[in-house]
Structure 1
Amino acid sequence: MSTIKNISAISGGNITNNGGIGISARGVIWSTNPNPDISLGTKTVDGSGNGSFVSNITNLLPNTTYYVRAYATNASGANYSANTSYGNQLTFTTQPNLLNGSGLSDIEGNQYKSIIIYGQEWMQKNLNVSKYRNGDPIPQVTDDNQWATITTGAWRYFANITANGITYGKLYNWYAVTDPRGLAPEGWHIPSNQEWNDLFKNLGGTPAGGKLKETGTSHWHNPNVGATNETNFTAIPSNPSTQNSIYISASWWSNTWAKGQPGPYAFGVDNASASANLSPCSATNIQKLSVRCIKD
């Protein structure tokens, strides 16, 4: 068993001897009861023949123990019927929908807690690194005119106030996000449009933003509609320009160019949305946005 998540896992097997009759079907079978067999509908079919195979187990229940066995079925012939053999029984338990992650550190030694939300492991704070994964520095650009014309990676603090980095992390342009040297820490990446959308759907669609937002008004302006932070994502607002407006909304980069649009997708929540929604929008290359990384 490997890559065990809340509703999926990976298994497989290896057929080293077919007993003299070719293998017509192979895969794994699973159940919440011991010794599952192929009479159950919960199985994979992963090709035929000898050798190793990988099985993707899906549509599981979170926080549930399963029993799994590999199987191999011989082909039937004129003088014999198909016969199925089973491998050793294994057990595994899926993750809860919400779980604390193992955390991570970046190239500069900054430490981040992480949370697992419906099988996706996210950083619990915004990225705060000033170097690419290989150690090359990312320029800090504080001048608005220079920022508007630069075509390479850059970062800055909210309102150009250094102390904001501790709480809010750094803001990056699109060129830093997509630089081949890698902005995200080793083993992590900038989330795709699909991964942001999966988070939205897993959290029930419209109320997703509220489940991500920090509660109260320490960082958000009133009314901070719908905020529960039940995921421990602890989204706090960020604004690329003035300190006085920093409490209004939070926006993060995706790594995906918006189809039919002049720029990439970004995702955000705000303090007063009636739905507390997690919403996509089309950004531009030079916008100043936060980064939340997701584990590979």
Structure 2
Amino acid sequence: MKTQLPNSFIRTLSVIALAATLLFQSCKKDEVIIPPQVTTINASNITFSSATMGGTIKSNGGANITAKGICYATTTAPTVKSDTTNQGAGSQSFSSQITDLLPNTKYFARAYATNSAGTGYGEEFSFTTGAGLPSITLAVTNTTYKEIFANWTITAQGASAVSLSGWVISTTNALPLTGTDVFTSFNTSATFVEKTITDLEIGKKYYVRAFAANGQGTAYSNVVEATTKSLPTATDADGNVYESVLIGTQIWMNKNLKVTKFSNGDPIPTTSTPTQNITAESSPVYRWAPDGNSANVNSFGYLYSGAVATDSRNVCPAGWHVPSKNEWVALQSALGSNPGLKLREASTNYWGVAGTNVYGFAAVGAGMRDQVGTFGFLKTYGEMWASTAFNATDVSTFIVYSTFDGVDQYNRARNTGLAIRCLKD
């Protein structure tokens, strides 16, 4: 049997339904869509023409986001009417690469997000692009006594092409500059350059860096500290220590030898009297004080027979040797004009006429002793043995004079007494 609801109850239900509908419609009318809320992620990876920025969407404002990105300008408060990036729709956080910027320019930028209600903006930040200079790195690969071997690499051209590069060097300025320190430039666009820096001081620390220039200016590389090699000392079998000098590519002891032993410790005797006649001895091993006076040894070294200079036991310290004739010739060639003047010690304590001693060789007039035992030419004649035998009885020599600014090559009998100057192996 079908039950009939009372009309009053039906009317009550209808009123309730109508009220619910009106309430729902009233709530929908209260939902207001607003522009999105976004925060800005500050600039990073700034170059002369680009930068990276980003944003985080905090609220979509009640509607779908249709565009988001970075707006930027050279004035404050940039908007979407300024230059922008666009990272598309959606509420995800984003990162934007801003490109085609001007070098050395200050920009103002902020994140934006757009929905149907409008555009919301994040905090504003500013950044300044780089100057558009090249990027360059320097490496030092080796040093010698007076040279530094360096190379540099241009890793980025900058806002325009590199037109020249070079090196700059200083012994005092830890950040050497082309305007104040010694430099050399090369008109080259090469991205890798190798050069040798020459004519430096021996045993000196230098600050070196490379530079490269384009239309925007000059950029500098990292600084490299490089020290040229120091010259070695030599210690003979008696413990005497000798300084050395560099002439051309040769390293010479700066004093005459004054040792009494060969490098293996075997003694080098002297004659029973300084003036003993040894003409009959074809290959005698002897040493004598210049002029027969031991007080002269410290200033002039010993005089040695030619047999000592050519002896396989080596009278020079380990790592050094009596120079050959060709090595003396090489020294003369390296000296150029007036070699004797340049070699002579700059004092009349050692010569009748002092030299200039420009290389520090400090040649002295030790004189000589002949076979019959006669000494002579102290302070006027500085003749030194070579290790090269001229024939069975004679050995080559090298002569520096007091009153003549040239030098000579000669040959002397092995039983003559002359000075020895050692050369680095």
* Category of TM-score, reference length = shorter chain: 0.5 to 0.7
SS of the counterpart of 2:327? helix
Aligned residue for 1:103?
Answer: 233
Closer, same or farther: CA 128–234 of 1 in aligned 2, 3 Å? same
Closer, same or farther: CA 137–261 of 1 in aligned 2, 3 Å? closer
Q: AA paired with 1:265? A: S
Q: AA paired with 1:116? A: L
Q: CA deviation at 1:216?
A: 3.4
1:140 and 2:276 are equivalent in the alignment: no
- Structure 1 consecutive aligned stretches of length 4 or more whose deviation exceeds 3 Å: 1-7, 59-66, 91-95, 241-245
Q: AA paired with 2:422? A: C
Structure 2: distance between partners of 1:194 and 1:3? 27
Q: 1:81-118 deviations in whole A, cap 9, x for unaligned?
A: xxxxxxxxxx99896xxx97221111111111111122
Q: CA deviation at 1:149?
A: 1.9
Q: CA deviation at 1:4?
A: 3.7
Alignment of 1:127-166 (within 5 A): 127-141=257-271, 142-146=274-278, 149=281, 151-166=283-298
Closer, same or farther: CA 144–228 of 1 in aligned 2, 3 Å? same
Q: 1:52-86 deviations in whole A, cap 9, x for unaligned?
A: xxxxxxx99543999xxxxxxxxxxxxxxxxxxxx
Aligned residue for 1:209?
Answer: 340
Aligned residue for 1:236?
Answer: 364
Aligned residue for 1:172?
Answer: 304
Structure 2: distance between partners of 1:254 and 1:93? 37
Q: AA paired with 1:285? A: R
Equivalent residues of 1:261, 1:282 under 8 A apart: no
TM-score, with normalisation over the residues of structure 1?
0.64
Equivalent residues of 2:368, 2:383 under 8 A apart: no
Q: 2:250 aligns with which of 120, 125, 128?
A: 120
Aligned residue for 1:28?
Answer: none
Q: CA deviation at 1:213?
A: 0.5
1:283 and 2:409 are equivalent in the alignment: no
Q: CA deviation at 1:137?
A: 0.7
Aligned residue for 1:195?
Answer: 327
Q: CA deviation at 1:199?
A: 1.1
Equivalent residues of 1:262, 1:282 under 8 A apart: no
Structure 2: distance between partners of 1:133 and 1:203? 30
Aligned residue for 2:152?
Answer: 34
Structure 2: distance between partners of 1:116 and 1:192? 17
SS of the counterpart of 2:413? coil
Q: AA paired with 1:126? A: N
Q: Give the RMSD, CA atoms, in angstroms.
A: 3.4
Q: How many residues align?
A: 221
Equivalent residues of 1:6, 1:94 under 8 A apart: no
Can you give the 5+ residue segments of structure 2 that lack an aligned partner in the other structure?
1-140, 155-195, 209-223
Closer, same or farther: CA 228–178 of 1 in aligned 2, 3 Å? same
Equivalent residues of 2:142, 2:150 under 8 A apart: no
Structure 1: distance between partners of 2:382 and 2:415? 17
Q: AA paired with 1:161? A: N
Instruction: Determine which structure has greater relative contact order: mean sequence separation of CA pairs < 8 Å that are 6+ residues apart, divided by chain length.
Output: 1
Equivalent residues of 1:200, 1:208 under 8 A apart: yes
Q: CA deviation at 1:140?
A: 0.9
Q: CA deviation at 1:3?
A: 8.8
SS of the counterpart of 1:149? coil
Higher mean displacement: 208-217 or 130-139: 208-217
Which structure is larger by alpha-carbon Rg, 1 or 2?
Answer: 2
Structure 1: distance between partners of 2:325 and 2:226? 29
Q: AA paired with 1:236? A: V
Equivalent residues of 2:289, 2:303 under 8 A apart: yes
Q: CA deviation at 1:178?
A: 1.4
Q: 1:246-277 deviations in whole A, cap 9, x for unaligned?
A: 1211011111123x79622100111111xx01
Equivalent residues of 1:235, 1:250 under 8 A apart: yes
Q: CA deviation at 1:209?
A: 1.1
Identity %: 29
Equivalent residues of 2:366, 2:382 under 8 A apart: yes
Structure 1: distance between partners of 2:378 and 2:389? 26
Structure 1: distance between partners of 2:316 and 2:295? 22
Q: CA deviation at 1:282?
A: 1.6
Aligned residue for 2:397?
Answer: 266
